[in-house]
Amino acid sequence: MPESMDMAESRGVVALLFRRFTLRHWRRHWRSTALLVGILALGVGVFLSIRLANRAAVSGFDLFTESISGESDFVLRPRAGQVLPESVVTDLRAAIDPLPVVIFPVIEATVAEASGDTTEAAPKQLLGVDLVGLRNLASFGAGDFGDEDGGVGFQLGSPNHGFVADTWARNEKRKPGDSFDLIINDRSTTLTIAGTLKDDPLRPAVPENLVLMDLPGAQTLLGMPGEISRVELVVPPGSMATEFRQRLSERIETLSASDTVLWRLETRNDRRASAAKMTHAFRLNLTVLSTLALLVGTYLILQAMEAAVVRRRSEIAILRSLGVEPGTIRRVWLAESLALGVVGSAIGIGLGWAMAQLAVGGIARTVNGLYYATTTEAAGLDPSETLLAFTFGVLASLLAGWLPARDAASTPPAQALRTGNRVDGFKLLQRPGLGVLVALIAMVCGWLPVWITASGNRWPVGGYLAALGWLIALSILAGVLFVPLSRLLMIWFQRIPEACYAASQLRRPTGRHRLAMAGLIAAIGMASGMGILVHSFEGTLTGWINQLLRADLYVATAGATNATNANVLTPTTWRQFAEDESVEGVDVIRRYSLEFRGRAIKLAGSEYNQQSDRRIRMNWLQSPENSDPQSLTIVESDGAVPAWVNEAFSRRFLIGRGDRIELVTPRGPQAMTVKAVYADYSDEAGTVLVNRNFTAQWFDDETVSNAAIYLKPGMDHEAARARWMEKFPALVIRGNVKLRSEALRVFHQTFAVTYALEAIGVVVAVIGLGLALASLLVERRNEMTTLNSIGFTRAQIARASAIEGSALAAIGLAGGFALSLILGVLLIYVINRQSFGWTLEFRVPWGLLVGLGFLTLATSAAVSAIIGYRGSQLRGEPEE
Amino acid sequence: MKGVIKRYGERVVLDRVDFSIAPGERVALMGPSGSGKSTLLNCVGGIDRPDAGEVHVAGKRIDRLDHDALASLRRRTVTTIFQFFHLLPTLTASENVALPLQLLGIKSAECDRRVAELLGSVGVDHRADALPEQLSGGEMQRVAIARALAPEPSVILADEPTGNLDSTTGESILDLLESLSDRLGCALLLVTHSRRAARICHRTLLLRDGKFEGHA
């Protein structure tokens, strides 16, 4: 009983002190309180925005086009290749009869909207469905196709009419009856708008790039009569729906188990999981980066909270001298941190949502380019992500408040009351032994193998732990540089009093110096480490592109930069290039999506020219006995087809030279022998490369995805390009240089988000340095009185502050660059290799590092000088 | 100082104060807490500006000087000794004394010679390399005196220089101030609560509610 009374009493004291001191302090110093809240909001905002944008980009594909029928219960997709025969619907109906199930065959293709420049053609998703069946579905309102009778002459099965998104029609100022051009494979066609599809609040939004047609019309338009892309099965709502769904599930699963069926069963959840898996590594890296940004933000909050504690040390000391226990003081500070954390995180959520709208475009473009089509243009405020960011922000604030409050509460009141005393503060960073220990642990973590989850996701946990460990270790160890740098400055500037004074401050650095340094190390290390990764990636990619792109002209269909673009060059078209009199040779490739060991991969059928001397050169990781592509045509004695696999495939499935694999194609399972492993930086799912003659047989398909053309010596590239562009207006024909620059453009676009995160990190760290110096000056106000009394001018005090700030930044830079080299090694040789399966060449971007160093030093000096100038008139406590 | 008025808000801290000190003279300034002693010292040292009246130091009017000119005044002409010593905690004893000399641009060798001489004259030459926190209160005040004497000022302002010392050490500090001021011929304005401290001065002024009450 007395114990609970004590607790109640203690709570009462905390509440009283919170009202009397904390709230009043906030009111009186509203600017610094607002800054603190702003910093916290920025940290939470960055973290949340990246996670929201990631989530939106991943879920974008799962929208309207994925489930045209609404909530389909099952989706059947081709087991191999991209199409199913339409007869599968009849077979299916017979197999599940008499269950009342609506079957929706769907044909889907990525086409392009024609514009003046085919390289800029916007991709569109063309869906062909049974419009009559769709209209009868209860979940689809009768008014959905209400505009088709608007005098545009639409008839079911028309290959010339399509429905478009109402938002697109409004943006493009189009109306039913208007027409627009589409590029399908290598030809152009005109479609009339039959009607517009309006958004329904109960269904996913209609994507702007959708073109919806009646199934037979779409099949005719795409040149795929009798073929479909998938079948959706829906059990209509009703009292028996659950039971029917169960029975349907049993039937379908029994059927799927048979080897003879052409399809595989997929639920919506499977599809979502598969998309999430595809982008797992990409999203994980972005999340880790945003977490690092939050970590830098936490350093800043820590500095800001410590600065607040410094300003109020005498207040704390007075309270202690009045008999308030250290524990109560800590609780008051924790309550303050909690309140700041809650307010800052709440604002950060709004900020994060707004920033996510900016980031989502960049991330969606990357996902589009590398993984699959996503139409996301806006990021929603996901409750689980919001809660995570909020919790993260509040915890960071509590941690940031607790550490300095613990130090302050444990300082004897008499010492704290003497404002001239130096405060060592924050003890954690003053233990080099701990730094060495953490460095050793980090070193061990760097050697840990990748952790593969039950669902097959690869987590380079060891690499991330090593990165975090090195960050902490160097934040502690870089502190040993203070004394030598102080000595150097004393020697170099022995006749300059302000430099001597500044150098003397580094002779015995306080916890605040070390904290500012740690913040800089984290930010510079992160920015430069990513810089090393990007530079290494760029260098490797450029070398790889130089080896790969040796032809003069490259031909593809419009919108070909999209990862899911399935448009192809028909044999009539690509053979015309091969037979052209100006052409010496042609490389062609055809890619198919397949499954291997339950995971999506690509099978590529290639045919390389034998005429030109400039042949494609592979970058071998495990070289073949015979590197001539012609060797891929020779079937082995046991019937196995020779294949080259890329590094991602090799690492994902632990398959190397000499191993045997089997892939299921429409012509049944095909055995292959792996002859070599090559570097490939365009794919992280894994590709198996065979000769095109085999894929042509297995898929009964002579089309190719793209072609590389080698012109005869002396031929004019531009003239040839212009001639063919005129002849094939639906094709994109790029010169060698143009394609290289296009590849690098996509590359830089991929890293656009990381550049923004780096910039935020460095800005936040420099603000942190400014805050640290400001609180140091407040703490040294008696020294300011002394300096003034012996004749220091304001400019001299400002210069002293600038020198101290620059020296601090220099140590931060030294530690940050050391960290960046270690992070670079971890990112390239551990994290990247384990996540993406790519081997990169280690390259240091010296120019970037020098620029970053100069910028950081200059900014730090300027910020410190301003703070020094403003702080030069601070006065110590009167001594009377 | 002629007709100096200084207010903090509504409160008048110095009320039409007239006061002068001759070269080489030592004057004790006494009065209860809050009587305006430190404010008067700050006005003489150019750390604070009067709201009205004139302040002249070494023949120069200083109450209208800008920041840099005041800094120059404090560098060469008026130095201060504080109750809590105010040594820069990160500098050694010799570096603390050297700092005003460096500000005057005195060359290293000359500077080192004078620092050694000054530390010797106040009796702490054996602690030249010690940081302030390694010194006793008396040693710290001796270093502070050496620093105040370093630029050979015309006026030394001493704000309770023995207020934070035990009586024996305080006595020795007062003796030191007296002998050095005699030797160097600089004026000393000593703010103190102690009549014993005032004994080294030629005259004593009593300040109450911002006005001089008379000579003690």
Interval A645-693: pLDDT, tens: 998 899 888 899 999 999 988 888 899 999 999 988 777 778 999 999 9
Residues of B in contact with A875 (CB under 8 A): 47
The answer on pLDDT for A171 being more than 80 is: yes
Q: How far is B174 from chain A (nearest CA, A)?
A: 19
The answer to whether B215 touches B204, Cβ cutoff 8 Å, is yes
Pick the residue from chain A with its C-alpha nearest to B97: A790
B109 has a chain A CB within 8 A of its CB: no
Q: Does residue A858 fall inside a structural domain?
A: no
The answer on pLDDT for A278 being more than 60 is: no
pLDDT at A414: 59
Q: How far is B185 from chain A (nearest CA, A)?
A: 20
Identify the residue with better confidence: A840 or A427: A840
Pick the residue from chain B with its C-alpha nearest to A877: B84
Residue A362 token pair: 């960049």
Tell me, yes or no, whether A33 and A102 share the same domain: no
Question: CB A507 to CB B99 under 8 A?
Answer: no
Tell me, yes or no, whether A207 and A249 share the same domain: yes
Residue A464 token pair: 């991330």
- What type of residue sits at position B39? T
Q: How confident is the model at residue A264 (pLDDT cuts 50, 70, 90)?
A: confident
B208 has a chain A CB within 8 A of its CB: no
Tell me, yes or no, whether A243 and A106 share the same domain: yes
Domain span at residue A339?
A: 1-67+277-408
Least confident of A6-10, A217-221, B59-63: A6-10
pLDDT at A148: 44
Residue B6, C-beta contacts closer than 8 angstroms, at least 6 positions apart = B12, B13, B14, B36, B39, B43, B48, B50, B51, B210
Write out the DSSP string of B156-167: EEEESTTTTS-H
Share of chain A above pLDDT 70, in %: 78
**Separation of alpha carbons A569 and A770, rounded Å:** 60
The stretches of A326-382 forming alpha helices (DSSP H) are 326-370
Helix or strand or coil: residue B152?
coil
Which of A219-233, A250-264, A438-452 is most confident? Answer: A438-452
Q: How confident is the model at residue A563 (pLDDT cuts 50, 70, 90)?
A: very low
Question: CB A495 to CB B147 under 8 A?
Answer: no
A287 has a chain B CB within 8 A of its CB: no
A419 has a chain B CB within 8 A of its CB: no
Residues of B in contact with A788 (CB under 8 A): 47, 71, 74
**Separation of alpha carbons A314 and A498, rounded Å:** 29
Q: Does residue A832 fall inside a structural domain?
A: no
pLDDT at A122: 67
Question: CB A420 to CB B47 under 8 A?
Answer: no
Number of domains in chain B: 1
Q: How far is CA A139 from the centre of its chain?
A: 35
Question: CB B38 to CB A879 under 8 A?
Answer: yes
**Separation of alpha carbons A53 and A482, rounded Å:** 41
Q: Does residue A32 fall inside a structural domain?
A: yes
Q: How far is A14 from chain B (nearest CA, A)?
A: 35
Residues of A in contact with B152 (CB under 8 A): none
pLDDT at A174: 87
Helix or strand or coil: residue B4?
strand
Q: Does residue A774 fall inside a structural domain?
A: no
- What type of residue sits at position A254? T
Residues of B in contact with A793 (CB under 8 A): 67-68, 71-72
Last residue of a domain, one of A244, A266, A288: A266
Helix or strand or coil: residue A585?
strand
Number of domains in chain A: 3
**Separation of alpha carbons B143 and B128, rounded Å:** 9
Question: CB B159 to CB A879 under 8 A?
Answer: yes
Q: How far is CA A507 from the centre of its chain?
A: 43
pLDDT tens sequence across A302-319? 777 777 777 777 777 777
Chain mean pLDDT for chain A: 78
Question: CB B102 to CB A495 under 8 A?
Answer: yes
Tell me, yes or no, whether A246 and A150 share the same domain: yes
The answer on pLDDT for A145 being more than 60 is: no
Helix or strand or coil: residue A708?
strand
Question: CB B33 to CB A782 under 8 A?
Answer: no
Beta strands in A558-667, from DSSP E residues, in sequence order = 583-596, 599-607, 620-622, 641-646, 660-665
pLDDT at A769: 76
Tell me, yes or no, whether A9 and A99 share the same domain: no
Q: How confident is the model at residue A1 (pLDDT cuts 50, 70, 90)?
A: very low
Question: CB B100 to CB A795 under 8 A?
Answer: no
Q: Residues B185-194: what's their mean pLDDT?
A: 90
pLDDT tens sequence across A458-482? 778 899 899 989 999 999 999 999 9
Q: How far is B74 from chain A (nearest CA, A)?
A: 5
Q: How far is A497 from chain B (nearest CA, A)?
A: 6
Tell me, yes or no, whether A27 and A162 share the same domain: no
The answer on pLDDT for A386 being more than 50 is: yes
Q: How far is B202 from chain A (nearest CA, A)?
A: 23
A491 has a chain B CB within 8 A of its CB: no
**Separation of alpha carbons B6 and B12, rounded Å:** 6
DSSP assignment letter at B78: E
B-contacting residues in A 496-525 (Cβ below 8 Å):
496-497, 500-501, 504-505, 507-508
The answer on pLDDT for A138 being more than 80 is: no
The answer on pLDDT for B141 being more than 60 is: yes
CATH value at residue B125: 3.40.50.300
Residues of B in contact with A880 (CB under 8 A): 33-34, 37-38, 160
Q: Does residue A594 fall inside a structural domain?
A: yes
Q: Residues A543-566: what's their mean pLDDT?
A: 69
Last residue of a domain, one of A682, A714, A746: A714
Residues of B in contact with A783 (CB under 8 A): 86, 88-89
Complex-level ipTM beyond the 0.85 threshold = no
B-contacting residues in A 781-800 (Cβ below 8 Å):
782-783, 785-796
Q: Judge if the upstream peptide bond of residue A225 is cis by omega within 30 degrees of 0.
A: no
Q: How far is B70 from chain A (nearest CA, A)?
A: 8
Share of chain A above pLDDT 90, in %: 15
Residue A433, C-beta contacts closer than 8 angstroms, at least 6 positions apart = none
Question: CB A791 to CB B47 under 8 A?
Answer: no
Q: How confident is the model at residue A141 (pLDDT cuts 50, 70, 90)?
A: very low
pLDDT tens sequence across A62-119? 444 444 444 566 778 777 666 788 888 888 888 777 777 778 888 887 777 776 555 5
pLDDT at A62: 41
Q: How confident is the model at residue A342 (pLDDT cuts 50, 70, 90)?
A: very high
Q: Does residue A283 fall inside a structural domain?
A: yes
Question: CB B99 to CB A790 under 8 A?
Answer: yes
Q: How far is CA B104 from the centre of its chain?
A: 18
Q: Residues A566-589: what's their mean pLDDT?
A: 85
The answer on pLDDT for B128 being more than 80 is: yes
Question: CB B74 to CB A505 under 8 A?
Answer: no
Question: CB B99 to CB A500 under 8 A?
Answer: yes
With b for 16 or more beta-carbon neighbours within 10 A and e for fewer, the A543-567 pattern comes to ebbeebbbbbbbbbbbbbbbbbbbb
Tell me, yes or no, whether A114 and A221 share the same domain: yes
Tell me, yes or no, whether A193 and A235 share the same domain: yes
Q: How confident is the model at residue A372 (pLDDT cuts 50, 70, 90)?
A: very low
Tell me, yes or no, whether A260 and A329 share the same domain: no
Sort residue A236 into left (φ over 0), alpha (ψ -120 to 50) or beta. beta
A581 has a chain B CB within 8 A of its CB: no
The answer to whether A567 touches A110, Cβ cutoff 8 Å, is yes
pLDDT at B188: 92
Q: Residues A586-611: what's their mean pLDDT?
A: 85
Share of chain B above pLDDT 70, in %: 99
Tell me, yes or no, whether A61 and A186 share the same domain: no
Residues of B in contact with A796 (CB under 8 A): 71, 103
Q: How far is CA A11 from CA A18, A332, A341, A342, in A?
A: 10, 10, 20, 20
Residue A820 token pair: 């960046």
Least confident of A415-424, A427-436, A750-759: A415-424
Residues of A in contact with B37 (CB under 8 A): 880
B50 has a chain A CB within 8 A of its CB: no
Q: Does residue A706 fall inside a structural domain?
A: yes
**Separation of alpha carbons A329 and A317, rounded Å:** 10
Q: How far is A498 from chain B (nearest CA, A)?
A: 9
pLDDT at A761: 67
Question: CB A500 to CB B67 under 8 A?
Answer: no
Q: Does residue A829 fall inside a structural domain?
A: no
Question: CB A794 to CB B82 under 8 A?
Answer: no
Tell me, yes or no, whether A206 and A300 share the same domain: no
Last residue of a domain, one of A714, A746, A771: A714
Identify the residue with better confidence: A435 or A283: A435
Tell me, yes or no, whether A292 and A256 share the same domain: no
Question: CB B82 to CB A879 under 8 A?
Answer: yes
